[in-house]
Structure 1
Amino acid sequence: MRLVVISIGRLKQGPERELSERYRERFDDLGRKLGFRGLDIHEIPESRARDASTRMTEEAAAISAATPQKSVLVALDERGDNLDSVGFARHLGRWRDEQVANTIFAIGGADGLSPDLRRKANLRMAFGAATWPHQMVRVMLLEQVYRAATILAGHPYHRA
């Protein structure tokens, strides 16, 4: 199973990009041993539309266009489920074992994800009730993906 993070907006050079890359590389090293085919990041420019509804619609269309058919879609959304790390690892492990080709993680822009895209998601996931900048969501997501791999591998990184 290939994991793909589709994110509205680009990470500039700096600590967020460095930390994101660190967790992506750690996952790649461990993930291949666990049957994952990699972790890609696809950045989509933010819509320049004047109103929020149009921006979300345009960004959702771009995310949908970048999502392969028959993929599992995970929407990062503040209204989503608050999963613990073990529960998240179970989802990834189950999808891998079911031979899902791609798991797509969608991170919206400043206005969030469109309601239609959220409804299409197989899982809506939150990092608490707070609103986070998309740069921080990406770092937290990549850390949780790496942590999930360590849980699946029985590695001591995760201590509950």
Structure 2
Amino acid sequence: MRRAALALCCLLTAVPALAEDLPQGPKAPPPEPLPDAICDIAKPDSGDWLLGRWVAPYSKWEFKREAQGLTWTLEQKPDINRDLGYKQGTVIDGKVSELSACTFRLTAVENGETAFNFEGVLTDGGKIYGYATNKAGQGARWILRRQR
């Protein structure tokens, strides 16, 4: 096994162009733009499909039904989302501002300003592809899956 790994490393260092084509992260990012919705987005929905815990690399998301409607919490693990300016251990809370049977928009408000926006779409495979932006306009792409 070690010899195979060593041979692969030697091959990749010998041919740098091939090494550049390899995936750079733990998971491929969602496609741009987001996939088309698989549901009728004009129909209202209770959001039961969204409730519960979802995970993405280095983050946990939880969606709950509360008196004021659907709410969410995002907890960052390591500093993976430097693009948004958030550090390890950051917790963001907000509300689900728009919802259909397969799409949603999340917002978090801080000091009267929208501090975080997230737009997501549920795919046939049961994953959520989405984009987030902070108040400075910086963005990041996400793939969420149900926590096991």
Q: TM-score scaled by structure 2?
A: 0.24
Greater Cα radius of gyration, structure 1 or 2: 2
Q: Which gives a bigger RCO, structure 1 or 2 (Cα 8 Å, sep 6+)?
A: 1
- In proportion to residue count, which structure has more strand? 2
The structure carrying a bigger helix percent of its residues is 1
Q: TM-score, structure 1 length as denominator?
A: 0.23
